[in-house]
């Protein structure tokens, strides 16, 4: 292993400063506004939701990224500024202008992000009052408080740092994420911010982010809903002086570290799924191609019947079989495919495996984490997707969300 992973902590990243404060946008007893600053030598890469009803800050952030090199990220929690039309876009632009005026940069160098309730106007007045405080208190070592400020229904911080050595010098990667509900693969179904002090050209940085997202934030599902506000941003400050060039050992090591950090943050999101009690890996093997493997995995992970059985620790394997059978793949050989719960084979030759017992299945499902593995016997492609169970608390949390 060429890196060290530090779970649950946010090591300072040279060239990156942060601040958070209580703006009172929706919450009255906690920080709900965060600002990240990137060194002038830095580069930014980002991916956004594919939901066509994307939020105002997503629209503005994409426009600003196309027009300039970003220096600041402004993130608010409690109000998504989504479904708010032209007025919402204006508020997003005005919030960027507030930061720009305080720090002396161009408005297009500020990217806005929001998370929270959809369809409510985001008030500008709390931002006007809070932005000067943010700008005056930027510092490197406050990743934990920043991560707390962007939470909504999250019950825990989602932080991770990774350190590695390149050319005999240390490089740091630190990331934070928020997400608990409205989580499903279609870009990066949550908000995530990752920073490194490596020096990476923007096109290379963008490719590295997209590679990491495919196997992490884009491979999780809590409830099958894709948010209007999803975004994942990767910042490279360049402060370490370590240059990452494509097709080198250094680039491969950097990508590996970024991948593992992103997967850890994604795992933390699923662990904290609204009302979740179990974290379940869906692995589909021997598929004709990766697309069909993914379709089968998503059919299982998105099935309310499978997810409620997981919550009950009920080895109702027929629900898994039915989910596999309805996946829109070109062909499916029911007699050949096999399904396991961890190492317990539950399905073979088109029905219950002769060696399967209900007791063995239930033993697996009583664990906090386990794997549902499906072999399609169609080829060599495979995929993994991380999901959770669906509990009574998921309904309670979302029924009470606006009250």
- Strand, coil or helix: 256: helix
| CB-based contact 77:151 (threshold 8 Å) | yes
Q: Are residues 203 and 305 in the same domain?
A: no
pLDDT at residue number 402 = 67
Count how many domains the chain has.
2
Q: pLDDT of 118-163, one tens digit each?
A: 999 999 999 999 999 999 999 999 999 999 999 998 999 999 999 9
Q: Are residues 235 and 307 in the same domain?
A: no
Q: Are residues 159 and 196 in the same domain?
A: yes
Residue where a domain terminates, one of 250, 271, 292: 271
CATH of the domain at 150: 3.60.70.12
Q: pLDDT of 224-236, one tens digit each?
A: 777 888 999 999 9
CATH of the domain at 344: 3.10.20.340
Residue 362 has φ and ψ, to the nearest 5°, of -70, -35
pLDDT at residue number 214 = 93
pLDDT at residue number 241 = 95
pLDDT at residue number 188 = 58
* Domain membership of residue 27 as a residue range: 3-271
- For 324, the enclosing helix (H) or strand (E) is helix 317-326
pLDDT at residue number 403 = 54
* Helix segments in 51-124, DSSP class H: 56-67, 85-103
Q: Are residues 350 and 375 in the same domain?
A: yes
Does the pTM of the predicted model rise above 0.85? yes
Q: Are residues 87 and 195 in the same domain?
A: yes
Could you say which DSSP state residue 122 is in? P
Q: Residue 86 half-sphere exposure, CB side, CA atoms within 13 Å?
A: 0
Q: pLDDT of 158-210, one tens digit each?
A: 999 999 999 999 999 999 999 887 778 676 558 999 999 999 999 999 999 99
Q: Are residues 175 and 60 in the same domain?
A: yes
Q: pLDDT of 46-64, one tens digit each?
A: 999 888 889 999 999 999 9
pLDDT at residue number 126 = 97
- Strand, coil or helix: 328: coil
| CB-based contact 81:93 (threshold 8 Å) | no
pLDDT at residue number 183 = 76
pLDDT at residue number 135 = 98
Rounded-to-integer distance, Cα 22 and Cα 133, Å: 10
| CB-based contact 47:191 (threshold 8 Å) | no
Q: Are residues 261 and 288 in the same domain?
A: no
Q: Are residues 152 and 245 in the same domain?
A: yes
Residue where a domain terminates, one of 271, 291, 314: 271
Give the residue-averaged pLDDT of 66-88: 96
Q: pLDDT of 229-263, one tens digit each?
A: 899 999 999 999 999 999 999 999 999 999 999 99
Q: Are residues 56 and 92 in the same domain?
A: yes
Rounded-to-integer distance, Cα 1 and Cα 11, Å: 20
Residues assigned a catalytic role: 189
Closest CA to 5 of 261, 270, 271, 265: 261
Q: Are residues 141 and 47 in the same domain?
A: yes
Give the residue-averaged pLDDT of 370-379: 97
pLDDT at residue number 187 = 64
Closest CA to 46 of 202, 166, 160: 202
Rounded-to-integer distance, Cα 315 and Cα 322, Å: 14
Q: Are residues 257 and 303 in the same domain?
A: no
Q: Are residues 53 and 156 in the same domain?
A: yes
- Strand, coil or helix: 335: coil
pLDDT at residue number 90 = 98
User: Checking phi first, is residue 342 left (phi over 0); if not, alpha (psi -120 to 50) or beta?
Assistant: left
Residue where a domain terminates, one of 210, 241, 271: 271
């Amino acid at each position: 292993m060429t890196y060290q992973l530090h779970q649950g902590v946010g090591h300072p990243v040279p060239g990156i400063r942060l601040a958070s404060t209580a703006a009172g946008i929706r919450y009255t007893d906690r920080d709900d506004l965060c600002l990240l600053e990137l060194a002038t030598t830095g580069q930014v890469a980002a991916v956004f939701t594919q939901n066509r009803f994307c939020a105002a800050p997503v629209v503005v952030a994409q426009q600003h990224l196309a027009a300039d090199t970003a220096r600041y990220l402004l993130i608010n929690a409690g109000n998504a500024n989504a479904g708010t039309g032209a007025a919402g876009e204006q508020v997003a632009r005005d919030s960027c202008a507030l930061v720009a005026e305080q720090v002396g940069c161009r408005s297009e160098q500020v990217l806005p992000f929001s998370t929270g309730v959809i369809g409510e106007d985001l008030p500008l007045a709390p931002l006007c009052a809070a932005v000067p405080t943010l700008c005056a208190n930027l510092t490197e070592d406050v990743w934990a408080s920043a991560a707390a400020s962007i939470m909504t229904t999250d019950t825990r911080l989602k932080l991770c740092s990774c350190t590695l050595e390149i050319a005999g010098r240390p490089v740091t990667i630190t990331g934070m994420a928020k997400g608990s509900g409205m989580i499903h693969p279609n870009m990066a179904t949550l908000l995530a911010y990752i920073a490194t002090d490596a020096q990476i050209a923007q096109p290379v940085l963008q490719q590295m982010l997209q590679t990491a997202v495919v196997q992490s934030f884009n491979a999780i599902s809590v409830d099958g809903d894709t948010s209007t506000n999803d975004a994942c941003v990767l910042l490279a400050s360049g402060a370490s002086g370590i240059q990452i060039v494509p097709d080198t050992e250094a680039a491969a090591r950097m990508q590996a570290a970024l991948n593992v950090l992103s997967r850890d943050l994604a795992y933390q999101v699923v662990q904290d799924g609204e009302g979740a009690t179990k974290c379940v890996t869906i692995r589909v093997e021997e598929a004709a191609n990766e697309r069909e493997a993914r379709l089968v995995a998503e059919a299982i992970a998105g099935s309310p019947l499978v997810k409620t059985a997981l919550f009950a620790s009920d080895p109702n394997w027929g629900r898994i079989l039915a989910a596999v059978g309805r996946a829109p793949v070109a062909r499916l050989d029911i007699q050949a495919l096999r399904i396991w719960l961890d190492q317990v084979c539950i399905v073979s030759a088109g029905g219950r495996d002769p060696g399967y017992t209900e007791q063995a299945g239930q033993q697996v499902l009583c664990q906090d984490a386990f794997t549902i593995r499906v072999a399609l016997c169609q080829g060599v492609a495979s995929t993994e997707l991380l999901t959770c169970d669906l509990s009574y608390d998921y309904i309670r949390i979302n029924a009470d969300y606006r009250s």
